[in-house]
Chain A
Amino acid sequence: SQELEQSPQSLIVQEGKNLTINCTSSKTLYGLYWYKQKYGEGLIFLMMLQKGGEEKSHEKITAKLDEKKQQSSLHITASQPSHAGIYLCGADILRSARQLTFGSGTQLTVLP
């Protein structure tokens, strides 16, 4: 979706390295969701952010929401091969319950 831009499109990192994925909206964000997807499989819920400045962490993954910039970042510390997959951000930009607009995804490869 052009309304939600993810960058980079793909990322190859060496195991142990840190990385950041960005998600920028052209419209007001009423909620921002991060998911991970293995190719051809379902989406695994990672985190949901709602308030500007909100930051959440789960294991080695941290997500932040910058409401002013209408942007969210996903940071992985000390990456592992198990982090590999497609990371998708989904946003509620229509203030409509359960109708999320998704970015095109970031393909993450972690080399052992």
Chain B
Amino acid sequence: KAGVTQTPRYLIKTRGQQVTLSCSPISGHRSVSWYQQTPGQGLQFLFEYFSETQRNKGNFPGRFSGRQFSNSRSEMNVSTLELGDSALYLCASSFSGSLAGELFFGEGSRLTVL
């Protein structure tokens, strides 16, 4: 069974640009969540989607957005990039999104903003 797949793995952008990251969950998983990991702040929750609906959102500005498609694949977008957006963006999937489910992460997308 394939794991959580994130693309691209690495990317470099400049300030002011926008970026879209993609996440394909484990087959059969309907919940996808996104996290940002930086050396200073650690792992922080961005948002979570289940059946194409955003159920939870972390404390990030509106420049960060996401969506989920009918096949459970998810994308997140960051507009007007800032230097502080440089981070490892991790996607995680679970079967039902319930409190009892195991949560599996992808390898991440490393974003560098110059």
Where the two chains meet, the residues of A that have a C-beta atom closer than 8 Å to any C-beta of B are: 1, 30-31, 33, 35, 40-45, 48, 50, 88, 90, 92, 95-105
CA distance A103 to B42 in the complex (A): 8
User: Would A42 and B107 be within 8 Å (CB), given that A97-B56, A98-B94, A99-B58 are in contact?
Assistant: yes
Where the two chains meet, the residues of B that have a C-beta atom closer than 8 Å to any C-beta of A are: 4, 6, 31, 33, 35, 42-45, 48, 50, 55-56, 58, 88, 90, 92, 94, 97-108, 110
CA distance A29 to B50 in the complex (A): 23
29 A–B pairs (Cβ distance < 8 Å), ordered by A = A1-B42, A31-B99, A33-B103, A35-B105, A41-B107, A42-B6, A42-B90, A45-B105, A50-B100, A88-B43, A90-B43, A92-B99, A95-B99, A96-B56, A97-B97, A97-B98, A98-B33, A98-B48, A98-B56, A98-B94, A98-B97, A99-B33, A99-B58, A100-B103, A102-B35, A102-B42, A102-B43, A103-B42, A105-B42
Say whether B56 contacts A99, CB under 8 Å: yes
Q: Nearest 8 CB-CB pairs, A to B?
A: A102-B43, A42-B107, A43-B105, A98-B48, A98-B33, A99-B56, A97-B97, A42-B105
